[in-house]
Structure 1
Amino acid sequence: MYKFLFFFISFSLTAQIRGVVKDSISGEPIPYVNIWIENETIGTTSETNGSFSLDIKEEKVLVFSALGYEIKKASSKTEVILLKPKFFELNEVVISIPKKTKELEIGDSKKIHHSQLSGDKPWIYGKLFKFEEKYNETPFLKKIIFYSNSKIKNAKLKIRIYNFKDSIPNEDILYEEVIVSVKKGMQKNTVDLSKHAILFPKEGVVIGLEWMIIEENKYLFEYKDTKSKKTNSFVTYAPSLVINYTEEENSFHFSGGKWRKRSRAISNSGREWDGKIMTPAINLILTN
């Protein structure tokens, strides 16, 4: 039986605001920007032409976040949002050809039938991997493995990689946009990072999976109410992410323009996840 965890879903009478996100230098539209109402759980994603819309009652502060750009806050009344490109200072990496390639898989995540829905929010759901001395023999991130359960074909999401500082995810260390399409159904997805030559940070690394609230990911989710036995439905966005349960406090989510640590699940119902941290099913393959 499939189990789904719902983030906050609410319905209210609202007015729709529209806008477009552009590069402040080139003037080109910026697709797939993460957009949130500051300190709230309402958000969306810009489309391929940079356009976006949000259903809100009154003027709010919006937070715009995209890889390669500085985070910006602006009034919801602003129709054209200009994001300033962020220029990265890349560290020099000397790569030598090893006599024998080594690989190490870490993370011990597995495929189970418990999935996380996005609802209509562009959450970034992250998992922390702490550094261990044994990783010095395989110091590069080679592949990301994550499990998904999508109701539609070719649902898109972003891969984000952050260093870990002051107990939260910090700066991006993957400077190139990586968008993954996942197949329908329960899938094991593998993303090759070899060309990026990313060294495992000594402070730890957070792998983020970012939902994209775009038209091509939209679908109608149907479920049966256990009490009334009626079939209900609501609009949500694919893909769902497979969730594991752990004692380790290694899970974070980004919403409202801020990172937050995931708290322990408490339902007092004797469920297998009671008192555990729900974390996205992600593993890493390291190499030398």
Structure 2
Amino acid sequence: MKEKRFLSLILLITTLSLSAQVKGIVKDNSTGEPIPFVNIWVENVNIGTTTEIDGTFSINVKEKDKKLIISVLGYETQTLKQAEFMNIELTPKLYELNDVVVLMKKQSKYLEIGNVDQTLMQAFDNGPKVEAKYFPYDSKYKKLKFIKKVTIFTDCRIDSSSVKIRFFSVDSLGNPGYELLNKDFIVTIKKGVIKHKFDVSEFNLTMPTNGIFVAYEKLLISDNRTPKGYQPYVLYNNVDRDFYFVFSGGKWNKLINNEDPLEQISINEPAINLILTN
């Protein structure tokens, strides 16, 4: 019995030594103001969190030598060792602003894109991952090039919750490239099973001729937390695709059919659509 207790004690000590809860705060290094909704990822591992409104965060790091990747729109991304976690200061990113062009939009025609034949949808708790839906370009979008709204189908179990919606260009390899917005687009999700529509006209987004990736990011903050996980649940369609992109561990991961790359794979794709206008 003593030997068994001794082995259990060794196992407990080993487990504690390999796992630690790191707490800290993320601030703007030029103003000292806390930065909310910052993405914090354990490098190469599907463990992540989000800073609260006051910039604070808490994350479990299982191995001492793991690094954290800190990123948010408008600031330079940092990769830090554990010793640097307590106080994190991000440097604002400088953008070269183009001349503002005011375009006269008729907005007399609308086209919703992204619908799939498979209407059966399921809700999943995707954890800290960011999952992107790819919208390829079609010649019929030439006269409907402005992105008017983004829609997202959710099942929310609390009165309201928040998610971040992100737009990415397509790089030369067909992967998600740079973000098309220069500030976070945080939306409020209401309770119930609802198809939400959010107007994005203010961003003056147009449909790129090589397509666009649209992703949602669940905010792992206290206001979204429930005993059964974070809200909201986003609904997914089961579809066949050539590829699928998931952001995890601080980087984009491309999922393909490993057995036969020329064959499609069956995936659960978030029920996100775009509404185009002229």
**TM-score, normalising length from structure 2?**
0.84
Q: 1:34-73, aligned counterparts within 5 Å?
A: 34-57=39-62, 58-73=64-79
Check 1:250–1:284 CA distance in 2 against 1; reply closer, same or farther (3 A cut). Answer: farther
**Would you say the 8 A contact 1:23–1:84 is kept in 2?**
yes
Partner amino acid, structure 1, of 2:217: E
**Would you say the 8 A contact 1:264–1:277 is kept in 2?**
no
Distance in 1 (CA, whole Å) between partners of 2:75 and 2:30 is 11
1:25 and 2:15 equivalent?
no
Q: 1:36-185, aligned counterparts within 5 Å?
A: 36-57=41-62, 58-78=64-84, 79-92=86-99, 94-98=101-105, 101-109=108-116, 112-119=120-127, 121=128, 123-165=129-171, 166-185=173-192
CA deviation map 1:243-264 (0-9, x unaligned): 1122223632211110112446
Match of 1:257 in 2: 250
Check 1:220–1:155 CA distance in 2 against 1; reply closer, same or farther (3 A cut). Answer: same
Partner amino acid, structure 1, of 2:177: N
Using the TM superposition, name which of 157-166 and 175-184 deviates more.
175-184
Distance in 2 (CA, whole Å) between partners of 1:282 and 1:246 is 13
Distance in 1 (CA, whole Å) between partners of 2:241 and 2:218 is 24
CA deviation map 1:76-124 (0-9, x unaligned): 22111111212223444644435562211111147644112033x2x22
Corresponding residue SS for 2:154: strand
Deviation at 1:60, TM superposition (A): 1.9
Distance in 2 (CA, whole Å) between partners of 1:158 and 1:100 is 26
Deviation at 1:65, TM superposition (A): 1.3
Partner amino acid, structure 2, of 1:104: L
Partner amino acid, structure 2, of 1:46: T
Whose radius of gyration is greater, 1 or 2?
2
Partner amino acid, structure 2, of 1:278: N
Partner amino acid, structure 2, of 1:277: I
Deviation at 1:219, TM superposition (A): 0.8
Match of 2:11 in 1: none
Partner amino acid, structure 2, of 1:127: K
Distance in 1 (CA, whole Å) between partners of 2:196 and 2:68 is 32
Q: What is the aligned residue count?
A: 254
Q: 1:179-218, aligned counterparts within 5 Å?
A: 179-218=186-225
Corresponding residue SS for 1:77: helix
CA deviation map 1:213-264 (0-9, x unaligned): 111111122xxxxxxxxxxxxxx21111111122223632211110112446
Deviation at 1:24, TM superposition (A): 1.9
Corresponding residue SS for 2:92: coil
* Greater percentage in helix: 2
Gaps of 5+ in 2: 1-14
Distance in 1 (CA, whole Å) between partners of 2:213 and 2:95 is 19
Distance in 2 (CA, whole Å) between partners of 1:100 and 1:184 is 30
Aligned alpha-carbon RMSD (Å): 2.2
**TM-score, normalising length from structure 1?**
0.81
Distance in 1 (CA, whole Å) between partners of 2:67 and 2:137 is 37
Deviation at 1:149, TM superposition (A): 1.0
1:238 and 2:245 equivalent?
no
Partner amino acid, structure 1, of 2:180: I
Distance in 2 (CA, whole Å) between partners of 1:264 and 1:116 is 22
**Would you say the 8 A contact 2:245–2:254 is kept in 1?**
yes
**Would you say the 8 A contact 2:121–2:238 is kept in 1?**
no
**Would you say the 8 A contact 1:111–1:281 is kept in 2?**
no
